[in-house]
Amino acid sequence: MKVAVITFPGSNCDADIYRVLRDQYKAEVDRIWHRDQLEKKYELVILPGGFSYGDYLRSGAMAGFSPVMKSVKEHVDKGGKLFGICNGFQILTEAEFLPGALTRNKTLKYICKTVTLKKGSSGNPVTSSLDPQKELRIPIAHADGCYFATSDVLKQLEDEGRILFRYFGENPNGSLDAIAGITSKNFKIAGMMPHPERAMNSVTGEEDGKVVLDLILGA
């Protein structure tokens, strides 16, 4: 699989997802600087976590205007897959690839901890092979992770089977409907706040990130 990982000023998880894809999935991975364009055909483009452009204005807001996003849109328009993790999810909403917004956590504090997720919509093809009762332990690290959308958008996401994951047990940031991640209408674009690339190591005792990435890469 050919994958592009976009690096913005302030990205700090690009190297993490790059190494996971290269070393554990044996993928052909390129790191693309925000000033450049996608010059190859990729099956998947990833917007990583971090603090793109220092999170000025709003988290992810400025990255949507970065030069590289022109070719990212072209990639999507041609049917390519796009995945945003944490700040990447914020960028996807700010750039209107996905609906809704990621707002300040209900505690008004930065949260860094491991949380529990469960499958979202039963009809989402990305997670079709995932047991709805399976609990996934995945880390979060964000200050603006509270998913917000209008009631009409929430209903549309539910009706169209577009909720990727929900927080289970504890809703750490106050996201509406406990939403931790969503997909586009054609299921080619996905975004989530938790960091699967940080749960890939038996040494830490957290390996559920592989379940998530297996689904994203195989969707």
**Active site residue ranges:** 86, 195, 197
Residues 6+ positions from 205 with CB-CB distance below 8 Å? none
CA dist 182 and 113 (Å) reads 21
Separate counts of helices (H) and strands (E) for the chain: 5, 11
On whether the CB atoms of residues 50 and 14 are closer than 8 A, the answer is yes
On whether the CB atoms of residues 142 and 115 are closer than 8 A, the answer is no
Residues 6+ positions from 155 with CB-CB distance below 8 Å? none
| Structural tokens at position 94 | 């700010």
**Residue tagged 């000025």 (tokens):** 56
Cα angle 51, 109, 52; round to 5: 5
CA dist 60 and 152 (Å) reads 24
